[in-house]
Amino acid sequence: MNRFRVDGKLALITGATRGIGLGAARALALAGADVILVGRNRFELEHAADELRQIARHVHVAPYDLSDTSGIEEWFNCLCTTVGTPEILVNSAGIQKRGAAIDLSLDDWHSVMTLNATAVFELSRTFARHLIGEKRTGRIINIASLMTAAARPGTSPYTASKGAVGQLTKALAVEWAQNGILVNAIAPGYIDTELNKSLISDPTFDSWVKSRCPLGRWGTPEDIAWPIVFLASPAANFITGQVIFVDGGWLATF
């Protein structure tokens, strides 16, 4: 089973203080990786790091607000100098702004697109520049969504941003395959996370999710975390440019 491990690899995970990001960091640590946790709030990062230090050899925190895309390159360059260049990048940070398309402000649109799509592009290419310059291989795992393939009313910015993530995954995979940088995405179904707290607490919506999903439940961060580890591991050496839906069978039925 060593092909499914990532022993000694350095993994950077964004959105790592909760939900899918924290779940991914935990699973990667259990699979042998050293981890760099990225988020906006240092206190929350340190809290997550304290937990992960019980299972990981090395845990680093790297506070940064990825919505400031103009500073990503300088921040990442400094991080590589102090910690080392990661070989695994998990782009998990994201936000949602719900509302009718005709009512949402352009600021709402731009904030979602900036963090969910533009920051993924900028961080991924900065990561790739380092690996290519050092003649090393690596893995990028993006977090897409059911909204990469479908939509619901009131989710236009999020749906557009996750559609962009799906296509960006393919574009970067094709461009960097020659450099040994594999780029894939996991597209979660409805997951029980902080981002979905308002939906989970709505009895009507909660019932709809459970009745609509063939597996009859919300997913958990752990359900997403282990497929991320698989894509980061040598077991996935011939997989790139894929968007893998981990959705409890959601898209298989109607």
**Confidence check: pLDDT of 248 > 90:** yes
Q: Which positions are catalytic?
A: 158
Query: Which are the contacts of 245, defined by CB distance < 8 A and separation ≥ 6?
Result: 146, 149, 187, 189, 251
Each residue of 51-65: pLDDT tens digit? 999 999 999 999 999
pLDDT of the residue at 246: 98
Each residue of 2-46: pLDDT tens digit? 999 999 999 999 999 999 999 999 999 999 999 999 999 999 999
Q: 197 pLDDT band (50/70/90 cuts)?
A: confident
User: Domain limits of the chain?
Assistant: 2-245
pLDDT of the residue at 194: 81
pLDDT of the residue at 1: 73
Taking CA atoms, 209 is separated from 144, 163, 190, 235, in Å, by 19, 21, 7, 32
Are 119 and 72 spatial neighbours (Cβ–Cβ below 8 Å)?
Answer: yes
Residue 239 Cα to chain centre, angstroms: 17
Share of the chain above pLDDT 90, in %: 96
**Confidence check: pLDDT of 195 > 90:** no
Each residue of 81-123: pLDDT tens digit? 999 999 999 999 999 999 999 999 999 999 999 999 999 999 9
For domain 2-245, the CATH architecture is 3-Layer(aba) Sandwich (3.40)
Tokens encoding 72: 């990503």
